[in-house]
Structures are given as C-alpha cells and as structure tokens.
Amino acid sequence: MRLLRLSIRRIFDLAESGLGKVFPPEWNPLLNLGALGFFFYWVVTVSGIYLFIFFETAVHDAFASVEYMTRDQWYAAGVMRSLHRYASDGLIVVVIAHLLREFALDRYRGVRWFSWVTGVPALVLIFVAGITGYWMVWDTLAQYVALVTTEWLDKLPIFGASIARNFFSPDTLESRFFTLMVFMHIAVPLIALVILWVHLQRVTKPRINPPRGLAIGVFVALLALSLVHPATSQGPADLAKVPATVGLDWFYLPLYPLLDRWPGPVTWGASGALLLILLAMPWLPPMRKPAAAVVDLANCNGCTRCFNDCPYSAIIMGNRTDGRPFERQAIVNPALCVGCGICAGSCPTSTPFRTASDLIPGIDLPDHSISALRDAVLAATAPLQGKSRILVFGCEHGSSISNLPPGTSSVSLRCIGQLPPSFIDFVLSKNLADGVVLVGCSENSGHARFGIRWTQARLARARDPHLRARVPAERLRVVWAGRDGRTKLDSALRDFSRELDELLAPPSRAVAERMAKLEEFIRD
C-alpha cells in the first residue's frame, strides 16, 4: 500500500510542480480539486434547472424535447445541455483526482478517516446521478444504459420482479418507471450534497469555492467546448431494435461493457469488494497516530489562538476548570488531533526567550515539544561556522533538509506552522545564526492545511503571534518547496548565503558581535 501511495504521490508531485510553472500557486488546479468539484456541481445544478424547464418527463416525449433543446434552441438550452454534460464529466475527473491525491498524501487515515469514509457514498451517488441523467435523454445510449443497468440489477436476487422487463419490448415501456428515473436524477444529487456537507464537518474553513481566476478559466473552457463540440443525442431509443454501437461517456460508464459481458456474481462481487475496500482503506493498515496536543492549564489563559488556528476543529474553548481568573480554557479532542503542532506555534507562551520558568507552553505536542525544539535549535546552531551561518526550519512533508551545505544546519518540525515566530527572533537576536530559512510544503499545498497560510500571516504580522518588528527581513527567507523542491531549496540557500555575505561584511559583523556582547553584558 505504501509503495502504491508513494508512486501515485510522485505522479502528483510532478504534475503539481508542472502546473505550478504556469498557474499562480493559489490557482493550481491540483490544489483546488475539492473546490473545483463544488464548482462543477453548481454548474451542473444551474444548467440542470434550466433544462428541466423544457424537458418532457413522459418517456415518449423525452427524446423530442431534448432534440428541441439541442437543435432549435442550441444557443441557450443546447449550450446548457452541453454545460450540464461536460461539467458532470469534469466533476468525476476532479473527484477521482481528489480521492487519489488524498490517498497519495496519506490524508485518509487516522483522524481523517471520517472525511474519507463519507466521501465514498458521495462518489457512488455522483455516479448514480450521472447514469440516471443519461437515461433521461431516451436515445440509443439511454436504451443501452437502461438495458445494461436493469439486467445487472436483476442479477442481484433481491428484487421481487424483473426490472429489465420494463424494457422488454416497446409495449412494456411505461412512463411511470421513467418518471422514477427523473425523480432519482433530481433526488440523488441532493442527497449527495447533504453527504458532502457531512464530508466537510471535520474540516475547518473548507475551501468550497475555487479562486475566481481558476473558476473563470474552467468555465470558459467548458463553454468553448460546449460551442465547438455540443453534446448531442445518439438517435431515438427503439426497443424493437437492439442498439449496435454506442458512444459511451467513459467518465460515468467505464464499467458498462464489463457489466454486460461478465457474469453477475463476478461484477457484483467485484463492485461490493471495491466498495468495502474503499470504505476500509483508512484502517488498511491504521495510521500510527502521533500523540495529540496537550493543554497545560497553568500556562493557558484562554486566548483562543490555538482554537482559531487548528485546521481540524480539534480544539474547543470550554469553561475554566482550574479556578484561575480566566473565562475559558482550550480543550483538545484527541480523536480529531493530527498532531501537526500548529496550535503550539500559535500559543503566546511558546517563546524560547522564557528563562524564568520551564518552557512549557499553554498547548504543546508531548512527543515534539516546544522545549525540545529550543534544545534542537541550540544543538543545531552550536557547531555552525563560516561567513554566513544559516539555520533552516523544515517540516516532515516539505523538501528534504538533510545534507545541507557547510555553514547550514536544520531543525525539523511537524509542520512549519508549529514554529512560533519568536524562534526566528531568538536565533537572530542571540546570534545563533546569521540567517533563518523556513522551508514548507509547496505553496498553497500545506499538508496540515493551514501551516503555510498561518505562517505567512504571522511573518507578515497580520496574525498572532506576530514576528517581532526588530527581526530584519533581509535575514529571513521562506521557501515553499514541497517534497520535490530540494533543487529549489539548494538554489535559495546559495542565493541567501551570498546575500548574507554581502550584508554581513566585516563592519556589520563587528557591530553584530558587539551587540551580542552588549546583550550578554546586560543579561549578566
């Protein structure tokens, strides 16, 4: 499973990197798959409502009404029909890509099982909605879909009467069954929408709208396709004849040729097994979960920063239980905590300058504590030598930070958002290094969702805890590199080192050393 995951991840990393060359980071389609799914859903919904105005739900009139829309009213209903079809296809593309990407990034196990498991029925319902949609046109493809679907359903011995007999001959065809399909085509997407709402319940601030530029680009592409290659029907259905050759929609019907040819036990067994495997994947095998964040009430004043920054709604603010004169306290739900440490990075007590007491923040990761982080910084910077000493803060999901050039050392975090900005100040003001580099996931693609966003906001002094104003901007670099970004990191380090050399020319260095001595003198 791990090998499969890594292989798919490699493909996604390459694709993401390639798309990143032409799209701005926030527009990268691979970083907006879920939001694009919602966008396609709304295009399908709006176009579907318009089409329903002209659609005749009686089986003997359905084809003619669709033909009217396609031919006579090609400029409006015809375009809407094409948008309806192509946006539905786009929905499948982005949903499958979304599923594969979450799998590849290992974001489906542990506490993320809920989003994965609720996504599976939503996916099934999207397929059902699409299949019933093809049925409604009542052309040759619809006849094929009706025959294969009902014959396949009849292979499951749970229905009292044969469903396929509804399509036995022209005489057996009734509008009642057809009306049921129309009802399903409307009801199923609505049920899917409710499930998608549940799907997002454990995600804080989910992105359900793509950036405007990306949405416009995708819509223009769909519109152009609708005008150049309009969706058409494949001749009227005729149950007195057998459809010979049909043009399949391979996004929705890729398994139909197999459903028709393979025995029922095989197709039903394979479908059931696939569904069960998909549902069970978060536990195949279960994730070894890092320890959840822990609140230390003695250092928590209920400021809500961790509550606001947690990407997974794992922290709630509750009434104070220790009698201290604060209104609220942070409470961690271990079942939802992924152990990213973003909460510790947001805590105002997570400052390495603290010497009066032990460095125990109000909230912290037991197995990757802020205190251990300070120790790691001191250990990593102690051996640094050379003209420009650089300390790199990296994360577990970004570029590799091992085997860095001489004069550079590194400290690894769970997520770059775990780094309180005071650590940057600490390193530079204590003259532990001449420059600091933060390395995270590729831009707009944070593994822990908000690690990059909150870090950028903290550095820009737009979100607590701020980076102190005294930290010189020229001694700090940020590299959003992703796992494939080692070349980018090496290049950034070379440039930064050169800039630091110029910046810390002898007079400046002497001043820096004098300042350090002065600080030491004041402290003593």
Which positions lie near other proteins, rule CB under 8 A?
Answer: 19, 21-23, 27, 29, 85-86, 89-90, 93, 144, 151, 154, 161-162, 164-165, 168-172, 217-218, 220-222, 224-225, 228-229, 231, 234, 239-251, 256-257, 260
Cross-strand pairs, 440: 480
Closest CA to 348 of 308, 397, 390: 308
For residues 69 and 415, which CB has a smaller minimum distance to other proteins in the complex? 69
Q: Please provide residue 200's backbone torsions phi and psi, each rounded to the nearest 5 degrees.
A: -95, 0
For residues 169 and 319, which CB has a smaller minimum distance to other proteins in the complex? 169
Strands 476-480 vs 435-440: parallel, antiparallel or unpaired: parallel
Q: Please provide residue 204's backbone torsions phi and psi, each rounded to the nearest 5 degrees.
A: -80, 135
**Token output for 5:** 């995951």
For residues 19 and 200, which CB has a smaller minimum distance to other proteins in the complex? 19
For residues 55 and 86, which CB has a smaller minimum distance to other proteins in the complex? 86
Long-range contacts of 215-224 (CB under 8 A, 24+ apart): 215/39, 217/27, 218/29, 218/36, 218/39, 218/40, 218/90, 219/43, 222/43, 222/83, 222/86, 222/87, 222/90, 223/79, 223/83
What is the number of other CB atoms lying within 10 angstroms of the CB of residue 513? 11
For residues 364 and 484, which CB has a smaller minimum distance to other proteins in the complex? 484
Kind plus residue range of the DSSP H or E element containing 395 = strand 390-395
Least distance in angstroms from the C-beta of 436 to other proteins: 25
Strands 408-413 vs 315-319: parallel, antiparallel or unpaired: unpaired
Structure letter (DSSP) for residue 69: I
Cα–Cα distance, 326 to 301 (Å, whole number)? 6
Least distance in angstroms from the C-beta of 245 to other proteins: 5
Q: Is 477 left (phi over 0), alpha (psi -120 to 50) or beta?
A: beta
Least distance in angstroms from the C-beta of 160 to other proteins: 8
Closest CA to 320 of 333, 301, 346, 348: 301
Least distance in angstroms from the C-beta of 246 to other proteins: 6
For residues 114 and 177, which CB has a smaller minimum distance to other proteins in the complex? 177
Structure letter (DSSP) for residue 349: T
Least distance in angstroms from the C-beta of 292 to other proteins: 40
Least distance in angstroms from the C-beta of 444 to other proteins: 16
For residues 222 and 293, which CB has a smaller minimum distance to other proteins in the complex? 222
Buried b (16+ CB within 10 A) or exposed e, 109-145: bbbbbbbbbbbbbbbbbbbbbbbbbbbbbbbbbbbbb
Residues 6+ apart with CB under 8 A from 219: 43
Least distance in angstroms from the C-beta of 238 to other proteins: 9
Distance set, CA 232 to CA 229, 243, 454 (Å): 9, 17, 48
Least distance in angstroms from the C-beta of 294 to other proteins: 45
For residues 259 and 432, which CB has a smaller minimum distance to other proteins in the complex? 259
Contact between 464 and 420 under an 8 Å Cβ cutoff? The reply is: no
**Token output for 224:** 């152009």
For residues 248 and 360, which CB has a smaller minimum distance to other proteins in the complex? 248
For residues 229 and 514, which CB has a smaller minimum distance to other proteins in the complex? 229
Least distance in angstroms from the C-beta of 247 to other proteins: 4
Cα–Cα distance, 345 to 415 (Å, whole number)? 9
